[in-house]
Amino acid sequence: MSFLRITMLLGTLTGILLVIGFLLGGPVGTTLALLLAIIINFISYWFSDRIVLRMYGAKPLDDKGMDEMVAKLAHEAKVPKPRLYVVQSDVPNAFATGRNPQRSAVAVTTGIMKLDKDEMEGVIAHEISHIKNRDILISAMAAAIGGAIAYIAQIGYWASMSGDRRDKGGGLSLLLIVIFAPMAALLIRLAISRSEEYHADRTAALITKNPGGLASALRKISSHVSEHPMKHGSTATSHMWIVNPFRGDWFTGMFSTHPPIEKRIERLEEMHM
């Protein structure tokens, strides 16, 4: 995990909040925004994984077969066995989170249980690969920070629409808050490199020695998501899932942290074990 990337992530959040604070309240607003940024930075670093798990109502999964599979794949990857959680959703998907390999977790949806054994192993191995490659901290932090900025932008919207703000340059403030802040959140999510997904796919294939299992799983998950996207949850967490579970359009596609599914499948099918 790059210390520089984490520093830039936290620095960007602080800068965005200071701008919003100044637009809404001048010097006093800037001071309050700075205090808020310090609090959010602290919470997102230490508790971002818990925030994301609670966001989706994830509960510990008590399933002997899944537990044995996770233990086996973690052993192959030479990382501690992550905690296993389940999210109630018919949309097949999974994500990994945690501050480090020693405090990691893998969450799967109830819908993903319909995959066959090879496909499920591919998915779990992909998430364990993120843990092994130490992608999970900045991924969870980006989710927490992106959600916070989106929420603060909503507050800014209603504040700008009330009182005298509409008559005192509130239009410009509204434009900057409602457009700039969410776009900045998307740019923060781009701190999650697309290359990390390719790397996790490749690492998973090496762990399972079966790239076809993950390729098949990606094909099924993508097909289901395109027809039945997830309706609950925050798009600020879309980069955490093995496949973006939310409905996409041309604009959000430009900011996607996931490489095209076709490219991921193609690379996996080119691997020979």
Query: What is the spatial distance between Cα 193 and Cα 181, in angstroms, rounded to a whole number?
Result: 21
The answer to whether position 175 is within a domain reads no
Share of the chain above pLDDT 70, in %: 75
14 pLDDT above the threshold of 80:
no
Task: Name every residue whose Cβ is closer than 8 Å to that of residue 180 and which is 6 or more positions away in sequence.
Answer: 16, 19
The answer to whether position 207 is within a domain reads yes
Mean pLDDT of the chain: 82
Task: Please say if 127 is a catalytic residue.
Answer: yes
Q: Where are the alpha helices (DSSP H) in the chain?
A: 3-55, 64-77, 117-132, 136-160, 170-175, 181-189, 194-208, 211-227, 250-254, 261-270
pLDDT at 12: 76
260 pLDDT above the threshold of 80:
yes
Catalytic residue among 119, 121, 127, 196: 127
The answer to whether position 16 is within a domain reads no
Q: Which of 48-57, 64-73, 81-90, 174-183 has the lowest mean pLDDT?
A: 174-183
Residue 55 carries which side chain, given as an amino acid letter?
M
pLDDT at 127: 96
Three-state DSSP at 56 gives coil
Per residue in 82-137, pLDDT (tens digit) is: 999 999 999 999 999 988 899 999 999 999 999 999 999 999 999 999 999 888 87
Nearest to 86 by CA among 114, 115, 65, 57: 57
Highest mean pLDDT among 143-152, 174-183, 202-211, 238-247: 202-211
CATH number at residue 131: 3.30.2010.10
261 pLDDT above the threshold of 60:
yes
The answer to whether position 120 is within a domain reads yes
Q: Which CA distances in Å does 116 have to 112, 214, 220?
A: 9, 11, 11
Per residue in 149-164, pLDDT (tens digit) is: 767 666 666 766 665 5
* CA atoms in the 13 A half-sphere facing the CB of 72: 11
The answer to whether position 142 is within a domain reads no
The answer to whether position 231 is within a domain reads yes
In this prediction the pTM is 0.79
The answer to whether position 19 is within a domain reads no
The answer to whether position 39 is within a domain reads no
Q: How confident is the model at residue 180 (pLDDT cuts 50, 70, 90)?
A: low
Task: Name every residue whose Cβ is closer than 8 Å to that of residue 189 and which is 6 or more positions away in sequence.
Answer: 142, 146, 236, 238, 239, 255, 257
Mean pLDDT confidence for 170-180: 65
Query: What is the spatial distance between Cα 126 and Cα 146, in angstroms, rounded to a whole number?
Result: 23
Domain boundaries, position 245:
58-135+194-270
Query: How many domains would you assign to the chain?
Result: 1
Residue 163 carries which side chain, given as an amino acid letter?
G
* CA atoms in the 13 A half-sphere facing the CB of 10: 20
pLDDT at 162: 61
Three-state DSSP at 194 gives helix
Q: What is the DSSP letter of 166?
A: G
Beta carbons of 37 and 13 less than 8 angstroms apart = yes
